[in-house]
């Protein structure tokens, strides 16, 4: 089940980033950072009353000149409409209603997405003097909040989660492999899609129960069914705005949420960039399968060890997702493009793999014998028992004596032993440590 996406939109200076930071701040304090994963201030994971969602901050672009603002606001609203499940539309309770609020409201109203109207900067118990003016926007009852002081955050979060799509409503059947093709603009994502679809594959135009057929591309290859997620976003290029890095990252986030497997496409001439790291980090954090595709391989002059040098560099730059297989392809010549579907199928299976509990415990027992668990102040870590709780991604519960004793390095060691024995190529693995008394 894809996590819902919530986007905050509104004109500059109403307090969008302040709200985002208020909500994100709480979480960052409790989540342990994993080495190498670049945390991005564009999005944050939120948990409220057993609902998990991704909050994105569409704002934060420095306007280059005054004239750019309306176009950017429009693009921001469009992006929210395309990618979010719930939109929080923020206005300024001190300044009151102004014409650009109306423009944004008009766009949002035309979409069929649930919209929450929030009036920010209401820092006291008193109502904003402009409160009733906001009804004019035609978006229903405005909710007053103060992002700076954190007032009414509970009400806001309650209202957000009430609008989520019903649990269990899936876009596609279980056996359809959902693939997000992600990466920077111009790396060759559409060329790869066209190449794959060009080779005798049947594009299925009518998939029963599909609500997203306007933006996705479902197709089959023999018995195997796939869907490329959000291909409309890849193909429809608005040259100016998609080059704004934030926008292309947000678009990737939305596609990754809905996918099982991500194909990170990288331009061979450019190598791994900061943006690639962020996107790969998001795939990893969300527990998706990941394949790294180095495209435009035809443009690289090859010597004996070129591929190995590339590989080494990729592993260094993306150390947190060593599990991801790497393919070197050319969408132009077609070299190895055929391997991509094979890899997707393989990684999908690994991502959904379940291992027998008996064998798992043998592997962990053996691992503990080979490399003694760490100890602290005379107390040694014990792993009593392990079980695989779920798939997509494979998640293991370790019953242990003391959580404090489970260090990252030992967890990593256990993970490596599991991988050596079972594979799990292309998928992250999660652990839940549970104390047993």
* Residue list for the binding site for GTP: 10-17, 57-61, 120-123, 183-190, 230-234, 295-298
Report the distance separating Cα 4 and Cα 197, nearest Å. 29
- State how far the Cα of 193 lies from the Cα of 232, in Å rounded to an integer: 11
| Residue 9 is a binding residue for ligand GDP (CB under 6 A) | no
Please state, in angstroms and rounded to a whole number, the distance separating the CA atoms of residues 256 and 311. Answer: 24
The contact pattern for ligand GDP, residues 398-437, with x = CB under 6 A and - = no contact, is: ----------------------------------------
Angle between the 408-422 and 357-370 helix axes, to the nearest 10 degrees?
Answer: 130
CB of 66 or CB of 167, closer to ligand GDP: 66
| Burial of 205 per CB tally in 10 Å (0-12, 13-18, 19+) | exposed
Please say which residue, 2 or 193, places its beta carbon nearer to ligand GDP: 193
> How many residues of this chain bind ligand GDP (CB under 6 A)?
30
- Binding residue (CB under 6 A) for ligand GDP from 6, 7, 9, 14: 14
Query: What's the closest the beta carbon of residue 12 comes to ligand GDP, in angstroms?
Result: 4
Tell me the β-bridge partners of 119: 91, 144
- Please tell me whether residue 15 binds ligand GDP under the rule CB under 6 A: yes
Instruction: Rule CB under 6 A: choose which of 59, 233, 393, 428 binds ligand GDP.
Output: 59
Query: How are beta strands 202-203 and 177-182 bridged, if at all?
Result: unpaired
| Cβ-based nearer residue to ligand GDP, 89 or 410 | 89
By CB under 6 A, residue 275 contacts ligand GDP:
no
User: 54: which 2 tokens?
Assistant: 């991704």
For the record, the structure tokens of 110 come out as: 């035309």
Shortest Cβ distance from residue 7 to ligand GDP (Å)? 13
Is 16 a binding residue for ligand GDP by CB under 6 A? The answer is yes
Would you say 120 or 252 has its CB closer to ligand GDP? 120
Going across the sheet that includes 224-229, the strands are 202-203, 217-221, 224-229, 177-182, 261-267, 289-295, 326-328
- Asked if 227 is part of the footprint of ligand GDP (rule: CB under 6 A), the reply reads no
| 299 sits near ligand GDP (criterion: CB under 6 A) | yes
Should residue 295 be labelled a site residue for ligand GDP when binding is judged by CB under 6 A?
yes
- Which stretches of 121-232 are assigned E, i.e. beta strand? 143-144, 177-182, 202-203, 217-221, 224-229
Q: Per-residue string for binding with ligand GDP, 187-226, x by CB under 6 A?
A: xxxxx-----------------------------------
CB of 329 to ligand GDP, least distance (A): 7
Residues 97 to 126: which contact ligand GDP by CB under 6 A? Answer: 120-121, 123
| Residue 330 contacts ligand GDP per CB under 6 A | yes
Q: How far is the CB of 15 from ligand GDP (least distance, A)?
A: 3
The pattern of x and - marking residues 68 through 97 that bind ligand GDP according to CB under 6 A reads ------------------------------
Q: Which stretch binds ligand GDP (CB under 6 A): 12-20, 77-85, 285-293, 303-311?
A: 12-20
Q: Is residue 273 at the binding interface for ligand GDP, with CB under 6 A as the rule?
A: no
2-29 burial string, b = 16+ CB within 10 Å, else e? bbbbbbbbbbbebbbbbbbbbbbeeeee
Q: Which of 199, 131, 157, 132 is nearest to 23 (CA)?
A: 157
Judge residue 433's burial from the number of C-beta atoms within 10 Å of its C-beta, 0-12 exposed, 13-18 middle, 19 or more buried: middle
Torsion of CA 352, 294, 278, 273, to 10 degrees: 170
Least distance (Å) from ligand GDP to the CB of residue 323? 24
Q: What's the closest the beta carbon of residue 60 comes to ligand GDP, in angstroms?
A: 6
Sheet holding 5-9, edge to edge: 43-48, 51-57, 5-9, 86-92, 115-120, 143-144
User: Quick one: which of 54, 72, 128, 147 contacts ligand GDP (CB under 6 A)?
Assistant: 147
**If you search the block for the tokens 């994971």, which residue do you land on?**
45
Confirm or reject binding of residue 233 to ligand GDP (CB under 6 A).
Answer: no
Tell me the helix, strand and coil percentages in the chain, rounded to 5. Answer: 40, 20, 40
Contact call for residue 231 and ligand GDP (CB under 6 A) = no
Cα separations in angstroms, 201 against 116, 208, 217, 346, 395: 42, 19, 12, 18, 34
Residue 433 CA: distances (Å) to CA of 30, 65, 75, 132, 427: 16, 51, 43, 51, 20
Q: Is there a contact between 395 and 432 (Cβ–Cβ < 8 Å)?
A: yes
> Does 146 participate in binding ligand GDP (rule CB under 6 A)?
yes
> Does position 366 bind ligand GDP by CB under 6 A?
no
Options 8-16, 196-204, 349-357, 383-391: segment touching ligand GDP (CB under 6 A): 8-16
Least distance in angstroms from the C-beta of 428 to ligand GDP: 24
Q: Which residue has the tokens 């059947």?
A: 173
- Report DSSP state, residue 320: G
Interacting residues with ligand GDP (CB under 6 A): 10, 12-18, 59, 120-121, 123, 146-148, 185-191, 234, 295-296, 298-299, 330-332
């Amino acid at each position: 089940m894809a996590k819902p996406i919530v986007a905050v939109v509104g004109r500059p200076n109403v307090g969008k980033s302040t709200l985002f930071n208020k909500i994100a701040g709480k979480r960052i304090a409790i989540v342990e950072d994993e080495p190498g994963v670049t945390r991005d201030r564009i999005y944050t994971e939120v948990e409220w009353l057993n609902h998990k969602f991704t909050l994105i901050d569409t704002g934060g672009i420095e306007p280059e000149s005054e004239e750019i603002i309306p176009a950017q606001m429009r693009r921001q609203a469009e992006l929210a409409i395309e990618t979010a499940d719930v939109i929080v539309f923020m206005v300024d309770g001190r300044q009151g209603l102004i014409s650009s609020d109306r423009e944004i409201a008009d766009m949002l109203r035309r979409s069929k997405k649930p919209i929450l109207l929030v009036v920010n900067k209401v820092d006291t118990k008193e109502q904003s003097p402009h409160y009733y003016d906001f009804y004019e926007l035609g978006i229903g009852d405005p909710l007053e909040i103060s992002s700076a002081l954190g007032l009414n955050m509970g009400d806001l979060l309650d209202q957000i989660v009430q609008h989520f799509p019903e649990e269990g409503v899936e876009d596609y059947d279980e056996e359809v492999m959902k693939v997000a093709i992600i990466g920077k603009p111009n790396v060759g994502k559409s060329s790869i899609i066209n190449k794959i679809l060009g080779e005798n594959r049947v594009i299925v135009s009518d998939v029963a129960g599909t609500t997203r057929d306007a933006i996705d591309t479902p197709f089959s290859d023999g018995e195997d069914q796939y869907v490329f997620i959000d291909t409309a976003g890849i193909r429809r290029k608005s040259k100016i705005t998609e080059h704004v890095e934030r926008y292309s990252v947000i678009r990737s986030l939305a596609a990754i949420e809905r996918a099982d497997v991500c194909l990170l496409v990288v331009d061979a001439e450019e190598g791994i960039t900061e943006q690639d790291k962020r996107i790969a980090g998001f795939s990893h954090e969300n527990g998706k399968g990941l394949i790294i595709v180095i495209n435009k391989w035809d443009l690289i002059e090859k010597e004996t060890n070129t591929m190995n040098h590339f590989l080494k560099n990729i592993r260094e730059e993306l150390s947190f997702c060593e599990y991801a297989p790497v393919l070197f392809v050319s969408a132009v010549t077609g070299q190895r493009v055929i391997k991509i579907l094979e890899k997707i199928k393989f990684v999908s299976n690994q991502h959904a793999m379940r291992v027998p509990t008996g064998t798992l415990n043998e592997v962990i027992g053996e691992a503990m014998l080979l490399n003694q668990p760490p100890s602290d102040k005379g107390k040694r870590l014990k792993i009593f028992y392990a079980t695989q709780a779920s798939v997509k991604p494979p998640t293991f519960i370790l019953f242990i004596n003391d959580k404090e004793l489970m260090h990252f390095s030992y967890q990593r060691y256990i993970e490596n032993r599991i991988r050596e024995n079972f594979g799990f190529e292309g998928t992250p693995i999660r652990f839940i440590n549970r104390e047993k008394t």
